[in-house]
Homo-oligomer: A and B are copies of this chain.
Amino acid sequence: MSALSTRPDVVLLDVNETLSDTAPMARAFEDVGAPGSLAATWFAGVLRDGFARTAAGAAAPFADVAAGALRTVLEGVDGLGPALDDAVSQVMDAFTQLPAHPDVAPGLAALRASGLHVATLTNGATAVSDGLLRRAGARDSVDQLLSVQDAPGGAWKPAPAAYEHGLRATGSTADRAVLVAVHPWDVDGAARAGLRTAWLDRSGRTYPSHLTAPDVTAPSLTALAELLSR
């Protein structure tokens, strides 16, 4: 028996931070002469602005929001090494070259071996997901690479249209799909769209009280595969 009341057919996996390890971004900021701690500030600003545009009914491509927010963050830095444009390019490049967490390749392989249809659903570009999975040797474990950029209006998760795109593209229905993410806002949005949800919590945090709780929680993708195949 699965940890969920009925076994899902489709698993939709978030990509940024859920599959990719963003820890090296601190080093990428330091390499252009900025404090490493700005990496977290930057990424929070990307989500804030991306969600704002989605809420305003005018979603924008991830790369545009990310580069715009990066420029804003780096402009405030004294003693930047490269010129601003070059620093923005260099940090954005680093973002497309992140490694996967060590549990990703074996976890995806186990999910697929258990008979699930495995798809990624990112707010970013599928090319970035593709590169990440190839570098991890895990591309063959994923059946489909999906992006909200192909959803109506390009609405970012956690808008319902983003999850509906994931269901439509995989030929699934909400009750047969499980969304996997490290971000509580993604778990919350997927639950509101009717999907089952799995919260990946690699660092033993407490799930925030103001967002819909996940159906299952696992400390790694390998542990989650085990839970879902039970």
Contacts and interface: CB of A to CB of B under 8 A. Distances in A.
Interface string A167-188: 0000000000000000011001
A71 B189 CA distance: 20
Interface stretch (A25-33, A113-121, A128-136, A206-214): A206-214
A195 to B, nearest CB: 12
A41 interface: yes
Interface stretch (A3-11, A94-102, A155-163, A220-228): A155-163
A209 B208 CA distance: 32
A57 B160 contact: yes
Contact of A48 (B51, B72, B76, B209): B51
A55 B58 contact: no
Nearest to A52: B185
A65 interface: yes
A49 B185 contact: yes
Nearest to A158: B56
B55 A48 contact: no
A229 interface: no
A53 interface: yes
Given A65-B210, A205-B76, A208-B69, A185 B48 contact: yes
A71 B155 contact: no
A72 B41 contact: no
A203 B65 CA distance: 22
Given A40-B41, A48-B185, A209 B68 contact: yes
A46 B188 CA distance: 15
Contacts of A138: none
Q: Sorted from nearest, which 4 A-B pairs have the closest CB atoms?
A: A68-B210, A51-B51, A52-B185, A44-B44
9 contacts: A41-B44, A49-B185, A51-B54, A52-B185, A54-B55, A55-B155, A55-B159, A68-B208, A71-B208
